[in-house]
Amino acid sequence: MTDTTLWHQRAQSLTLPSQAFIDGRFVDAASGETFESINPATGDVLTTVASCGVADADAAVAAARNAFEDRRWAGQAPAARKAVLLKFAELIEAHRDELALLESLDMGKPIRDALSYDAPATARAIAWHAEAVDKLYDEVAPVGDDALALITREPLGVVAAIVPWNFPLVMAAWKLGPALATGNSVILKPSEKSPLSALKLAELAKQAGLPDGVFNVLPGFGHTVGEALAMHMDVDCITFTGSTAVGKHLLECAGKSNMKRAFMECGGKSAHIVCADCEDLDKAAATAAAAICYNQGEVCTAGSRLLVDNAIKGAFLDKLVAQLAQWQPSDPLHPDTPMGAMVDRMQYDRVCQYIDLGLSEGATLLAGGPPKGEGPGLFIPPTILSDMTPEHTLAREEIFGPVLSVIGFDGLEEAIRIANDSDYGLAAGLWTGNIANAIRGSRALRAGTVFVNNWDGGDMTMPFGGYKQSGNGRDKSLHAMEKYTELKSTWIEL
């Protein structure tokens, strides 16, 4: 039996979660409504899932509030919370295959990536924050003999985490790790396009010993249960990853309701700059291909604007096109598949429309193009559109698919100007063999993360987030823990 057949068999026998998780119990939506979870690689309905609404949001918030008020979690010693969260991370590791399979079936990503990255990175994110939490000290302010002045951090209370479908587990874990470690109660709302792995996480969290009410999962739509959480008067923080349009809307919800803390991790149109003095064009070309093809290009930090110095543009693009042979999409459950299916028909159509628009605006098609044939699987080949100017729509808007817009430049100064001419500021990359250009360039780039002679480098020690309309706040690193705590000043007169 081949590995592919094995994964398909495992998929057939997999138990698919379908109910919401509120106050430690799996329950149907109060309305009884459900929605379909569809496998984008085949078009098959995987299962139907509870479609939560206002009543479910109210129930989850009440459970989370009770859990917070009676201190069943927040009141535990950090070392005790650490032990539970480390157990949670261990269980995630132990269920790696099942979680990876759920992720691949639900949103179309290659099983190879779900196994090697998504599932283990989820466990790592939880464990990293758990490990940190009993090593963080509060402060005593330098004041005179007549007072003791304490600066302490306290959990916010009830945190609602609303996450997207491109990395359902990892985006959730970047929020769950720091929010739970610091003692908050959390309500997770996964995307309606990828609810399954979050529900499996709920089961594992309970098994790990997370007290009832501390972690709740509400599957459902943004405009129903998502909106109910964002507008809720008893939610203390909304922590979001998703599109800039929805992020802006959630900031308004926070302002219109109870001024809840609102942290947004949003979209990007990241510039990937290759200078004429790049020392390894082969490596840069391989990396540029991966930066737009990995996860079908459905990555907030996709290197979707390739800026190449005109002096090397022709030679570099030949190398890049040659790389794409390794990135053709196919069955996500084949263990060697590098690129899977787009998450759903809506996203597939959106990406196809962008390719058509790029061609109608005069771009030159170097590879890929509109997909041919209409099978049930939503596969789009990696597509390179060259001869673009910074004004082209495809050079400005986030496509969220394997479509690369190429722009030529003359010298680093022009490259930085083009790179920074964007509403977004999530990531940027720079390939150069000149140390001064590397440092000057990385300082000048207006982006939350800059990659020099690599793309997507980093680990849990580094903050992740955006400048400008790519968001506010940071996920990962100790800075993420600041988001989920209030700073309290206590002045004790002696």
What's 72's DSSP letter?
T
Q: How far is the CB of 46 from ligand NAD (least distance, A)?
A: 18
Rounded to 10 degrees, what is the CA torsion of 61, 66, 69, 72?
-120
Does 471 engage in binding with ligand NAD (CB under 6 A)?
A: yes
Does 155 engage in binding with ligand NAD (CB under 6 A)?
A: no
Tokens (6 digits) for 426: 């999530």
Stretch that binds ligand NAD, among 145-153, 160-168, 322-330, 405-413 (CB under 6 A): 160-168
Is 265 among the catalytic positions?
A: yes
Q: How far is the CB of 454 from ligand NAD (least distance, A)?
A: 18
Q: How far is the CB of 190 from ligand NAD (least distance, A)?
A: 6
Among 230, 285, 367, 438, binds ligand NAD (CB under 6 A): 230
Judged by phi (left if over 0) then psi (alpha if -120 to 50, else beta), residue 166 lies in alpha
> Can you give the C-alpha Rg of the chain in angstroms?
23
Q: Is 237 exposed, middle or buried (CB count within 10 Å of its CB: 0-12, 13-18, 19+)? A: buried
With respect to ligand NAD, which residue has the nearer C-beta, 84 or 102?
102
Does 227 engage in binding with ligand NAD (CB under 6 A)?
A: yes
Catalytic residue among 237, 253, 293, 300: 300
Q: What angle do CA 91, 96, 101 make, to 5 degrees?
A: 135
Answer yes or no: are the C-beta atoms of 114 and 107 closer than 8 Å. no
Is 278 among the catalytic positions?
A: no
Strands of 246-295, DSSP E: 261-265, 271-274
How many angstroms separate the CA atoms of 297 and 300, rounded? 8
Does 249 engage in binding with ligand NAD (CB under 6 A)?
A: yes
Among 348, 398, 405, 427, binds ligand NAD (CB under 6 A): 398
Does 127 engage in binding with ligand NAD (CB under 6 A)?
A: no
Does 164 engage in binding with ligand NAD (CB under 6 A)?
A: yes
Q: How many CB atoms lie within 10 A of CB 12?
A: 7
Does 17 engage in binding with ligand NAD (CB under 6 A)?
A: no
Which residues from 408-427 bind ligand NAD, rule CB under 6 A? 426
Stretch that binds ligand NAD, among 33-41, 50-58, 235-243, 314-322 (CB under 6 A): 235-243
With respect to ligand NAD, which residue has the nearer C-beta, 11 or 237?
237
Does 82 engage in binding with ligand NAD (CB under 6 A)?
A: no
For residue 386, give the H/E element and its range.
strand 383-388
How many angstroms separate the CA atoms of 377 and 375, rounded? 5
3 state SS of 372? coil
Does 342 engage in binding with ligand NAD (CB under 6 A)?
A: no
Does 49 engage in binding with ligand NAD (CB under 6 A)?
A: no
Among 89, 99, 162, 186, binds ligand NAD (CB under 6 A): 162
With respect to ligand NAD, which residue has the nearer C-beta, 163 or 273?
163
Among 316, 400, 431, 451, binds ligand NAD (CB under 6 A): 400
3 state SS of 50? strand
Q: List helix spans (H) across 299-387.
A: 313-323, 345-360
The residues annotated as belonging to the active site are 265, 300
